[in-house]
A and B are shown apart, each in its own frame.
Chain A
Amino acid sequence: MITLNKREELEWHEGLTVQDILKQKTFTYPHIIVSINGAVIDHDAYAETLIPDEADVRVIHLIAGG
């Protein structure tokens, strides 16, 4: 299992990437910061960055809009 935004637990599997999580959660907003166990991931690396089991994943949307 991994933890998303300190609230939600998601199933982990071998080869799980950042991009997989964004797709699974329909996180389509482009202006986000993704971190895994505190380390910020570059936008360009979402497709190849693997998420380890029991990771603390944060996906912070930089939208304060409305």
Chain B
Amino acid sequence: MTNKIIRHVLAEFPYQTPRIERGYANQTLYVNVGTGEIKAKPVSDEMKLKFTGGKGFDLWLLWHAVHDDTKWDSPENEIVISTGPCGGITQYPGSGKSLVTTVSPTTEIITDSNAGGHFGPLLKFSGWDAIEVQGIAEKDVMVIVDAIEGKVTIEEMPDAPNDTHLLGRWLYDVLAEKPQEKYYIAMVSAGTGAEHSLLGCLNFSLYDRKRQDVRYKQAARGGPGTVLRQKHIKALVVRAQPFKGDANHPADMERIARVGADIQREIATWDSVQNRMRNRGTSYLVEIMSDYDLLPVNNFKFGSHPQARDINGAYWETRVTQGLPDGCWYGCTVACAHAVDGFELQTGPYKGHKVIVDGPEYETIGAIGSTCGIFDPDAILELNFYCDTYGIDTISYGNTISFLMECYEVGILDQEKTGGLELTFGNAAASLEILHQLARGEGLGKIAALGVRKAKTYVIEHYGADPQFVQDIGMENKGMEYSMYMGKESLAQQGGYALTNKGPQHDEAWLIFMDQVNNQIPTFEDKAEALHYFPMWRTWFGLCGFCKLPWNDVVDPKNSKSAEPAKIPHHVQNYVDIFSAVTGREVDINEIIAMSERVYNFQRVFNIRLGKGLREHDYPPYRGVGPVTEEEYESRRERYDQQLREWLGLDPDAMTLQEKMAAHRHYRTERYERLMDAVYERRGWTRNGVPTVEKLKALGIDFPEVLAVVEKKLRAED
């Protein structure tokens, strides 16, 4: 097949794969698809010490690539991908993550997103700790890192299909000279949807030996797939050499093996009686969230639904194929990555095709399912498949559709504006039609393609919608759509979503149960401490190449006897051991938090440099804080009335509904302001959310260009 394929090589860079030492290749790869320049950049000891790897390396490279006024579609914007020093370990589960950063088309600041799949580790084992891709190509190109041939190329391959599920099969056939080579190929791609939308995701591939097919995990948040296609890149590809379990050449292999064996035993013992990740993946969360009033339903108006049982973990356990290894990364026994095989598509350009649908994951089920009022599993699978192959973020797409559904139900949209679609909650056929329109760049799909923030502006400017109402109901902060947890009754989670660097993705802090259910962080100071520790802890996974799930989704019950069960101390110690054993750099939990603080504060300053990253950008929409509509209040009237009595000493029986809603709004928004003050103080920031010079010096990231950004902002505040 290889001989028949047209491959125009536009640029070529020969190289020799260096030996990986203690988790690092000690060089990064720069590729400019506009100019054809390809070069290696050395990784300094200071870079490793202060930025660790993964997102830290991404941000450091991106900082030096862009200007203060760089936009997402500027040629100098980059897509940067790195795994981290522990990425590629096969002895500890969840050690194959890749971190992507870029200037986002939806938030217009730095977005970061992580994915499994094989790209990041294979890139490192092919000699590169990170890849940064800059420029805009004239025509569609591939960037191919070929460790077998010892070269990096930029190539035009005009026969390559666009949509990921076709592109993957095609490209693996083109590049693999022998079938077994497919196991060591990985690609990053988007699809036709990303070409016509700001919501583009990146698909990270893995080759599934059992299925003999290519599967995908997604780095989706903030539109990195849109940036990829705007650069006219169809795929970033690695063709690696076969490797062994010690490919990182760690400082202490025995220590890694010992810790790895412990966690493998724990997973084997407890997963089947806890969350059953190995059987149903993250879908186990659906029923729990609905039971605790935390499952977004109908654009986050409600938190539960009787039909949640139709799409819960028990259902998906019967639907996803059992007994196959998950393959997200070698050696991961959490094995949460499932798939539905032989699913026959009912709509769209691939109608009638039988396909593999990866997932569905909890976030996807919530976003394209419950928050759109859709509880039909087949519709969810169809939407999931098309979002993936079109290169569209399911979370952002679902939020945008649910926002438009609510606009339709309150009369902002009508059938004339929707092109005849009855866009009510629960109309799965309408959601699918809009998704196909989006991929073609047509009709209502063009509005859905904007994401919630820009769709808000559109309905205000074109349809005369009430700006306050639209702002209240559209579930975005900073321009990023919310992930799938209802935070109305958890002040800490409201902060966990909006007091973030990139926007409301729960990978920084997930505090709902600690706060709302367990009442373990009752004071503002408690919440601020949690909103310091957990974002820093969780940030660290993305510096090293780790997945978060093995930290807290399977836990030995004896953890409950520990001093701080929510932190899962014995798993924290595992990570201390693994990092120390890989890098030879002996650390403790305090140093882990410090590593994250450096990168976290650097990202905050980066956002300020780009003109945002301040207090004014950290406010949630009121739908995420309290009841916007009378319908919402009435759905929880008993709870809200009781809160008026207990919190505010008011008599709800003597108040109108409007008065009660106003009292809640005043109280809840005032508490959020107090939370902001407490969190900023704990993080070492000013009341405007700016890291202080003292904080940056203490962290050792007081580089002149970093201080210049902060000092300029602080002078303006004075």
A residues apposed to B, CB below 8 Å: 5-7, 26-31, 33, 40, 58-66
- Asked if A6 meets B519 with Cβ closer than 8 Å, knowing A62-B555, A66-B506, the reply is yes
List 23 A-B pairs, Cβ < 8 Å.
A7-B519, A7-B522, A26-B292, A28-B288, A30-B273, A30-B274, A31-B275, A33-B565, A40-B560, A59-B518, A61-B517, A61-B518, A62-B555, A62-B559, A62-B565, A62-B566, A63-B513, A64-B513, A64-B514, A65-B285, A65-B513, A66-B483, A66-B507
Number of B residues near A (Cβ < 8 Å) is: 30
In the bound assembly, the distance between CA atoms of A62 and B287 in angstroms comes to 16
A55 to B: closest C-beta gap in Å: 16
Q: Please, what's the 1-or-0 string for B32-52, where 1 marks a CB less than 8 Å from any CB in chain A?
A: 000000000000000000000
- Which listed residue, A59, A61, A65, touches B553 by the CB 8 Å rule? A65
Whose C-beta in chain A lies nearest to the C-beta of B287? A28
Q: B552 on the interface (CB 8 Å rule)? A: yes
- Which listed residue, A26, A27, A59, A65, touches B510 by the CB 8 Å rule? A65
A10 to B: closest C-beta gap in Å: 13
In the bound assembly, the distance between CA atoms of A28 and B560 in angstroms comes to 18
Inter-chain contact total with CB atoms closer than 8 Å: 61
Chain A residues lying within 8 Å of B552, measured Cβ to Cβ, are 63-65
Q: B157 on the interface (CB 8 Å rule)? A: no
B14 to A: closest C-beta gap in Å: 45
- Asked if A66 meets B510 with Cβ closer than 8 Å, knowing A30-B274, A31-B555, the reply is yes
Whose C-beta in chain B lies nearest to the C-beta of A26? B291
In the bound assembly, the distance between CA atoms of A7 and B519 in angstroms comes to 7
A64 touches B568 (CB 8 A): yes
Q: Which one of B275, B485, B506 has the highest number of Cβ atoms from chain A below 10 Å of its Cβ?
A: B275
In the bound assembly, the distance between CA atoms of A58 and B555 in angstroms comes to 20
Chain A residues lying within 8 Å of B288, measured Cβ to Cβ, are 28-29, 63
Q: B629 on the interface (CB 8 Å rule)? A: no
Q: B520 on the interface (CB 8 Å rule)? A: yes
- Which listed residue, A5, A29, A30, A31, touches B519 by the CB 8 Å rule? A5
A54 to B: closest C-beta gap in Å: 18
A31 touches B274 (CB 8 A): yes
Chain A residues lying within 8 Å of B519, measured Cβ to Cβ, are 5-7
A32 to B: closest C-beta gap in Å: 9
Listed from nearest, the 4 A-B pairs whose CB atoms lie closest are A66-B510, A66-B506, A5-B519, A64-B552
B568 touches A33 (CB 8 A): no
A64 touches B510 (CB 8 A): yes
B residues apposed to A, CB below 8 Å: 273-275, 285, 287-288, 291-292, 483, 485, 506-507, 510, 512-514, 517-520, 522, 552-553, 555, 557, 559-560, 565-566, 568
Chain A residues lying within 8 Å of B292, measured Cβ to Cβ, are 26, 29
Whose C-beta in chain A lies nearest to the C-beta of B293? A26
In the bound assembly, the distance between CA atoms of A26 and B274 in angstroms comes to 18
Whose C-beta in chain B lies nearest to the C-beta of A61? B513
Whose C-beta in chain B lies nearest to the C-beta of A43? B557
Chain B residues lying within 8 Å of A59, measured Cβ to Cβ, are 517-518
A38 to B: closest C-beta gap in Å: 13
A64 touches B287 (CB 8 A): no
In the bound assembly, the distance between CA atoms of A66 and B559 in angstroms comes to 19
Extra contacts, 5 of them, besides A28-B288, A31-B274, A60-B518 (Cβ < 8 A), are: A5-B518, A30-B273, A31-B557, A33-B560, A64-B514
In the bound assembly, the distance between CA atoms of A64 and B507 in angstroms comes to 11
B338 to A: closest C-beta gap in Å: 17
Chain B residues lying within 8 Å of A58, measured Cβ to Cβ, are 518
A24 to B: closest C-beta gap in Å: 13
Chain A residues lying within 8 Å of B566, measured Cβ to Cβ, are 62, 64
Chain B residues lying within 8 Å of A62, measured Cβ to Cβ, are 555, 559-560, 565-566
B565 touches A28 (CB 8 A): no
In the bound assembly, the distance between CA atoms of A7 and B485 in angstroms comes to 22
Chain A residues lying within 8 Å of B285, measured Cβ to Cβ, are 65-66
Chain A residues lying within 8 Å of B274, measured Cβ to Cβ, are 30-31
Whose C-beta in chain A lies nearest to the C-beta of B363? A66
A65 to B: closest C-beta gap in Å: 6
B100 to A: closest C-beta gap in Å: 20
In the bound assembly, the distance between CA atoms of A64 and B557 in angstroms comes to 14
B520 touches A60 (CB 8 A): yes
In the bound assembly, the distance between CA atoms of A58 and B559 in angstroms comes to 17
Chain A residues lying within 8 Å of B275, measured Cβ to Cβ, are 31
Chain A residues lying within 8 Å of B512, measured Cβ to Cβ, are 66
Chain B residues lying within 8 Å of A26, measured Cβ to Cβ, are 291-292
A22 to B: closest C-beta gap in Å: 11
In the bound assembly, the distance between CA atoms of A17 and B516 in angstroms comes to 23
Whose C-beta in chain B lies nearest to the C-beta of A33? B560
- Which listed residue, A5, A6, A31, touches B517 by the CB 8 Å rule? A5
Chain A residues lying within 8 Å of B510, measured Cβ to Cβ, are 64-66
- Which listed residue, A6, A30, A60, A65, touches B565 by the CB 8 Å rule? A60
- Asked if A6 meets B522 with Cβ closer than 8 Å, knowing A30-B274, A31-B555, A64-B510, the reply is yes
In the bound assembly, the distance between CA atoms of A11 and B216 in angstroms comes to 51
Chain B residues lying within 8 Å of A61, measured Cβ to Cβ, are 513, 517-518
In the bound assembly, the distance between CA atoms of A46 and B274 in angstroms comes to 18
Chain A residues lying within 8 Å of B506, measured Cβ to Cβ, are 66
In the bound assembly, the distance between CA atoms of A7 and B518 in angstroms comes to 9
A33 to B: closest C-beta gap in Å: 5
Chain A residues lying within 8 Å of B555, measured Cβ to Cβ, are 31, 62
Chain B residues lying within 8 Å of A7, measured Cβ to Cβ, are 519, 522
In the bound assembly, the distance between CA atoms of A59 and B514 in angstroms comes to 11
Chain A residues lying within 8 Å of B553, measured Cβ to Cβ, are 65
B353 to A: closest C-beta gap in Å: 33
Chain B residues lying within 8 Å of A63, measured Cβ to Cβ, are 288, 513, 552
Chain A residues lying within 8 Å of B273, measured Cβ to Cβ, are 30
Chain B residues lying within 8 Å of A31, measured Cβ to Cβ, are 274-275, 555, 557
A39 to B: closest C-beta gap in Å: 13
Chain A residues lying within 8 Å of B513, measured Cβ to Cβ, are 61, 63-65
B639 to A: closest C-beta gap in Å: 11
A64 to B: closest C-beta gap in Å: 4
Chain A residues lying within 8 Å of B568, measured Cβ to Cβ, are 64
In the bound assembly, the distance between CA atoms of A6 and B559 in angstroms comes to 22
A35 to B: closest C-beta gap in Å: 10
Whose C-beta in chain B lies nearest to the C-beta of A32? B560
In the bound assembly, the distance between CA atoms of A57 and B485 in angstroms comes to 26
In the bound assembly, the distance between CA atoms of A65 and B510 in angstroms comes to 7
B291 touches A28 (CB 8 A): yes
Whose C-beta in chain B lies nearest to the C-beta of A63? B513
